[in-house]
Structure 1
Amino acid sequence: MPEAPEKFNSAMTTWQEWQNAPWGRLRYAIAEANLARHLDGRDGGPLRILDLAGGDGGDALRLAARGHHVTIVDYAPAMLAVAAERASAGGLTDLITCVQADVTALPADLGDGAFDVVLCHNLLQYVDDVPGTLATALAPLKRGGLFSMMAINRHSAALNIAVRETDPAAALAALDTDKSRTQTFDSALTLHTAEEIIPVLRSLGCQDVQHYGIRSFCDYITDDARKYDPAFYADLERLELATTARPPYMHTARLFQLTARKRDS
């Protein structure tokens, strides 16, 4: 079951520091660029987007700034309050709607299949029923609409431990488990791989599945201080963008992002 919302509320300061750090900025910049591959140049004007477990609006605000209407669903009120504040500060209030709800039990008016895009970013690691959660997430999406999901990549776990903690014994143990823990929210996690999730998406009526890697290099560069240097960060971002869809790098990236279209029939 998902963690209690109080954990996410109480970790707001730490979470915002993470978002503003180079690795947090890369996470959102790369995800936005990958979505733009599928959204830019489409006719029909602003899109209606549903951001499930959207927290404080990290993805939503970027999409609203492009002129789209975004509904953020999250069950942590402190996260939604910050999302509303950020929308107001950015002059995006008219394009952002915040709804406090459990993603696994969406309000009826959100399940009408009228959304052009649905995001399900960094939710799966917190839930027990992955197929059920994905089915619920896909229900509000129009036929032919774009679905985007993101999760921590289990393939990266052992590599991350070996490189950053220089602990080969712990890295070896990580090869045979899908369990982990997030320090930011002090929560248990279940890790997945793109190879496991792609067949589930296809079984739920998705097609044209695309696999991207988020932070293919950043997390394996141990000099975190240097990442704050603007020139170094700019070079790193260009490298990450160049390899987000380039094999083999997405297979060991810290996060994986999958986009897909909901089958028309």
Structure 2
Amino acid sequence: MAQETEKFDTAMATWQEWQEAPWGRLRYTLAEANLMRHLDEGTGGGPLRILDLAGGDGGDAMRLAVRGHHVTVVDLAPAMLAAAEARAAERGLSERVTCVRADVRTLPADIATGGFDVVLCHNLLQYVDDVPGTLATALAPLAEGGLFSVMAINRHSAPLNVAVRSLDPAAALAALDSDRLRNEMFDSELTLHTAEEIIPLLGDLGCRDVRHYGIRSFCDYLTDDARKYDPAYYADLERLELATTARAPYMHTARLFQLMARKGTAS
């Protein structure tokens, strides 16, 4: 695990550059917009206690803290957490953002039983071997009726991505029956999943009202990356992505899937 942590720390500069790129900005904008569809349900609009598992340098956390919520970021990479703390300080959000170094698989007792209003499990599943166990651990700190958000790379997108970006139909054909992907940024071998696989697992773990969203339904298949930096073009692309994040069939082939669910039975 120490070796895996080093990979994330070493790639910090590349990761932060990715976040500022159009595709990185869209990832966070869309995730936030989808969360906003659900965050105020039954809360009266007040500040929420949010747990961001494997939250890295706080990309999701900062947006939620700006909205007045209190976010606990859990991650195992020291440099990522240090960057999250620095970002919070720069924005005057230190009182709303708490960073905890811990393994998501063995959460500290006060977090595991914390009764949070919201738990985020974004881009963690592709790094773990035991998906049902990881989901169960992630759900444990969530209060009854709380909101759970899980995001991961969409396996359905892999063949499309290879065919369009690499112009390699043979590799795309091979990707149809593969669940593996090499992540060059973090020097890691990833396991890809689909929303259709994860939704039943959430049901088995006692979740209800599952909603399926797509993150970057078009961006990754537009090959002129330079044009995406043009403000007017990016604004049009963002509007398109927001319009299709919950619209079939586009979320099924988006680069990532995001699932939102409530913990426990309906009242």
Q: Give the TM-score normalised by structure 2.
A: 0.97
List per-residue Cα deviations over 1:192-224 (Å, max 9, x = no partner).
000000000000000000000000000000000
2:66 corresponds to 1:65:
yes
Q: Which amino acid aligns with 2:37?
A: R
Percent identical residues: 77
Q: What is the aligned partner in structure 2 of residue 37 from structure 1?
A: 37
Contact 1:3 1:126 in 2 (8 A): no
Q: Secondary structure at the match of 2:95?
A: helix
List per-residue Cα deviations over 1:150-199 (Å, max 9, x = no partner).
00000000000000000000000000010111111010000000000000
Q: Where in structure 1 are there 5+ consecutive unaligned residues?
A: none
**1:87-236 alignment to 2 at 5 Å?**
87-236=88-237
Distance in 2, matches of 1:231 and 1:44, equals 33
- Count of residues paired in the alignment: 265
Contact 1:152 1:191 in 2 (8 A): yes
Further displaced range: 98-107 or 32-41: 32-41
How far did residue 39 of structure 1 move? 1.0
RMSD: 1.2
Q: Which amino acid aligns with 1:186?
A: D
Q: Which amino acid aligns with 2:28?
A: Y
Q: Where in structure 2 are there 5+ consecutive unaligned residues?
A: none
Q: What is the aligned partner in structure 2 of residue 28 from structure 1?
A: 28
Q: Which amino acid aligns with 1:82?
A: A
Contact 2:159 2:172 in 1 (8 A): yes
Q: What is the aligned partner in structure 2 of residue 86 from structure 1?
A: 87
2:254 corresponds to 1:253:
yes
Distance in 1, matches of 2:115 and 2:251, equals 31
How far did residue 3 of structure 1 move? 6.4
How far did residue 113 of structure 1 move? 4.3
Q: What is the aligned partner in structure 2 of residue 10 from structure 1?
A: 10
Q: Which amino acid aligns with 1:14?
A: T
Further displaced range: 32-41 or 57-66: 32-41
**1:229-244 alignment to 2 at 5 Å?**
229-244=230-245
Distance in 2, matches of 1:2 and 1:222, equals 36
Contact 1:141 1:262 in 2 (8 A): yes
In the TM superposition, structure 1's runs of 4+ consecutive aligned residues that sit over 6 Å from their partners are: none
Contact 1:3 1:187 in 2 (8 A): no
How far did residue 40 of structure 1 move? 3.4
